[in-house]
Structure formats: structure tokens, C-alpha cells
């Protein structure tokens, strides 16, 4: 009985050993499968643009071909799979970068960052590092980053919306830096910070103008002084203050100009201005009518006095 138990235990151990996922014996079959996967990566358009990536793929194939079947293990398959995924994701990234949509380029940068991490994983395999495969992949990725840096730089030059210009300049700086172009990265970072400083200053001033315009508009509706025209002067100042804020928003082509609160303030100022303009014109008309009436009465009195004076002089001449 003990002998049978021992045999069963040995057989069970052998089964567990052979079925264990952590232990894969090298084989010609595995080597052949990996070579087929490598050869299937046929991307002439991509490889024409990024020849270093094609050279990395060729090096992977050469390394596998130079290994005996027994040397090709699960570890080999792991780094080959990483290398092939890098090529697939590289194609996705490049296709995104061909779009005219800025968001696609931002997504392409995110894919590139993922590729960067995958390349660093490759460095953990000695045979891969020795054959320069991570270096070749990184050279291709560096070229991509530099191209995106130029793309975002051009995009920043061609937009009038300061907030968008800032985002593009920042993206350009980041891409240039990842591409090893430190001078260009510093230049675009300087532009981004300069635009940011001016924009924040102007937006602060614009908000102050808007708040002043609202206060002046309230003063125009409920003037604290009974002086004639004080309400109209207040709404004129409110109108000027709002136009100053509007000018800053237009300068930066900023979407705050479309803010519901800003639109409402402009409409209220316009409505109050039109009402007070009519009220002021009506007051002036009334004053002119009163002045005309007084002038007419005075003119009539002077005319009558002149006629009486003429009659008096004529009587004196007749007596003489």
C-alpha cells in the first residue's frame, strides 16, 4: 500500500510539474510560432517612415533565428510579444497623428507614453538590451515626439484663442522635451508661460470691469444723487466699463464672452441705456419747450415794449 501511494505521489508530482504555467520548456514549435508572428508584422508604410522601428523588428527576428529551440522559452515569448505590441501600437499612434483633429494628436501622445513604458520593460531582458532593440524602438519614438512638438507649435501659432494657444504651446514643450529637444522645449515653455501671465492678468481686469459695470448699472437704476443726468452718466460709465471687458475677451477670443451671466449683464445695460436715453431726451425736450415758451413770452413783452416806445416817440414828434 505504501508503495502504491508513493507511485501515485510521484506521478502526481510529474503531472503538476509538466502542467505548471511557470515552467515552459523551450521548443522548436514555440520558436517557429514566434517567427511566424514576427513575419506577419508587415507594415510597409509604417516601416518606410520609421526605419529604426523596422530595424528593431528585423533584429528581433534575427535574435530568434539564432536561438536553438531549447533556448526559446516563455520568457522569450514574453519579450517578443512586447516587441510586436510596440509595433502595433506605434501604427495606431502614427495614424492618430495624421488626423487634423487636435484631440487625436493628444491621444497619440498618450499612446506614445504607453510605448515608452513598454520599451522600458524590454530593457529588463538582457538578450534584448544586448542587441539594441529597446534603443532602436526609442529612436523611432523620439522622432515621433519631435514631430508632435512641431505640430503643436504650428497649431499654437495658428489659433487666436489664447487658452487653446496656451494648451498647444504646453503640449509642444512637453513633446519636444520627451523628444530630447531641450532648447525648443524651453522656448515653447516660455511662450506658454508668457501667454498664461498675460491671459490671467487680462481676465482679472475683465472681471473687474464686468463687476464695475454691474454696480454702475444698479446706480443708474437707483441713482443716489438727484442731480439731473446722474443716472444717464452712470449708465454711460457702465456701458464703457462693459465695452472695456468685452475688448479684453475679444482680444483673447475667449469663450467667457458667451457666458450666460455676461450676456445677461450686456442685455441689462443695453436695456437700461435705451430707457434712460429716451427719458433724458424727453427731459431735454420738456426743458426746451419750457425755455422756448419763456423765450417767446419775453420776446412778446420786448416787442410790445418796443411798440409802445415807438408810439411814445411818434407822439413827441407830433407835439413838436
Q: Give the end of a domain, one of 102, 122, 145.
A: 145
Indicate the average pLDDT of the chain.
86
Given this model, what pLDDT does residue 204 score?
96
Q: Of 146 and 216, which is predicted with more confidence?
A: 146
Q: What confidence tier does 206 reach under pLDDT thresholds 50, 70, 90?
A: very high
Residue 139 lies in a domain: yes
> In terms of domains, do 227 and 135 share one?
no
Last residue of a domain, one of 116, 145, 174: 145
What is the C-alpha separation between 153 and 188, in angstroms, rounded? 7
* 4 or 46, which is more confident: 46
**Domain identity same for 127 and 210:** no
In this model, does residue 166 exceed pLDDT 80?
Answer: yes
In a domain, residue 172? The reply is: no
272: helix, strand or coil:
helix
Asked whether the predicted pLDDT for residue 285 surpasses 80, the reply is yes
Judge if 213 and 141 occupy the same domain.
Answer: no
Whether pLDDT at 20 is above 70: no
Asked whether residue 245 is domain-assigned, the answer is yes
CB atoms within 10 A of CB 155: 19
Q: What is the average per-residue pLDDT within 193-201?
A: 97
Task: Report yes or no on 229 lying in a domain.
Answer: yes
Q: What is the largest CA-CA distance in the chain?
A: 178
Write down the H helix ranges in the chain.
2-19, 28-40, 44-49, 51-65, 74-97, 102-122, 126-130, 133-157, 162-178, 182-221, 230-251, 260-319
Q: Say what percent of the chain tops pLDDT 70.
A: 85
Residue 228 has pLDDT above 80, yes or no: no
Over the stretch 286-299, which tens digit does the pLDDT of each residue have? 878 888 888 888 88
Same domain, 214 and 136: no
224 lies in some domain: yes
Residue 226 has a pLDDT of 57
Decide if 11 is inside a domain: no
Find the range with the poorest average confidence among 9-13, 40-44, 251-255: 9-13
Within a domain: 209: yes
* pLDDT band, very low/low/confident/very high, at 272 (cuts 50, 70, 90): confident
| Domain final residue, candidates 111, 145, 179 | 145
Domain encompassing residue 232:
204-303
Whether residue 47 is found in the same domain as residue 134: yes
Shared-domain flag, residues 128 and 225? no
Domain assignment present for residue 170? The answer is no
CA dist 199 and 247 (Å) reads: 13
Domain count, the chain: 2
Residues 130 and 226 in one domain: no
Which residues have a Cβ under 8 Å from the Cβ of 104 and sit 6 or more positions away?
96, 97
Q: Is the pLDDT of residue 67 over 60?
A: yes
Kindly state whether residues 67 and 138 are assigned to the same domain.
Answer: yes
Report residue 222's pLDDT band, with 50, 70 and 90 as the boundaries. Answer: confident
Mean pLDDT of 193-200: 96
Amino acid at each position: 500500500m505504501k508503495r502504491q501511494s508513493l507511485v501515485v505521489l510521484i506521478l502526481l508530482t510529474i503531472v503538476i510539474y509538466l502542467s505548471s504555467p511557470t515552467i515552459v520548456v523551450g521548443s522548436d514549435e514555440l520558436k517557429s510560432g514566434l517567427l511566424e508572428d514576427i513575419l506577419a508584422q508587415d507594415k510597409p508604410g509604417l516601416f518606410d517612415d520609421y526605419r529604426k522601428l523596422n530595424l528593431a523588428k528585423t533584429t528581433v527576428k534575427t535574435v530568434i533565428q539564432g536561438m536553438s529551440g531549447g533556448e526559446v522559452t516563455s520568457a522569450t515569448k514574453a519579450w517578443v510579444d512586447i516587441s510586436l505590441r510596440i509595433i502595433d501600437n506605434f501604427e495606431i499612434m502614427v495614424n492618430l497623428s495624421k488626423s487634423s483633429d487636435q484631440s487625436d494628436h493628444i491621444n497619440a501622445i498618450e499612446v506614445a507614453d504607453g510605448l515608452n513604458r513598454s520599451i522600458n520593460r524590454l530593457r529588463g531582458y538582457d538578450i534584448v538590451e544586448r542587441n539594441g532593440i529597446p534603443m532602436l524602438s526609442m529612436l523611432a519614438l523620439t522622432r515621433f515626439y519631435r514631430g508632435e512638438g512641431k505640430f503643436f507649435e504650428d497649431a499654437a501659432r495658428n489659433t487666436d484663442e489664447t487658452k487653446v494657444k496656451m494648451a498647444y504651446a504646453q503640449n509642444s514643450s512637453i513633446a519636444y522635451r520627451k523628444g530630447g529637444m531641450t532648447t525648443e522645449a524651453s522656448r515653447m515653455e516660455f511662450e506658454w508661460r508668457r501667454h498664461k501671465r498675460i491671459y490671467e492678468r487680462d481676465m482679472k481686469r475683465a472681471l473687474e470691469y464686468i463687476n464695475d459695470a454691474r454696480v454702475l448699472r444698479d446706480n443708474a437704476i437707483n441713482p443716489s444723487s438727484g442731480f439731473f443726468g446722474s443716472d444717464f452718466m452712470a449708465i454711460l460709465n457702465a456701458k464703457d466699463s462693459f465695452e472695456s471687458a468685452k475688448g479684453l475677451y475679444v482680444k483673447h477670443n475667449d469663450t467667457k464672452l458667451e457666458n450666460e451671466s455676461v450676456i445677461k449683464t450686456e442685455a441689462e445695460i443695453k436695456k437700461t441705456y435705451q430707457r434712460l436715453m429716451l427719458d433724458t431726451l424727453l427731459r431735454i425736450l420738456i426743458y426746451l419747450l419750457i425755455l422756448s415758451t419763456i423765450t417767446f413770452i419775453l420776446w412778446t413783452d420786448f416787442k410790445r415794449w418796443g411798440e409802445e416806445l415807438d408810439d411814445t416817440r411818434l407822439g413827441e414828434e407830433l407835439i413838436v
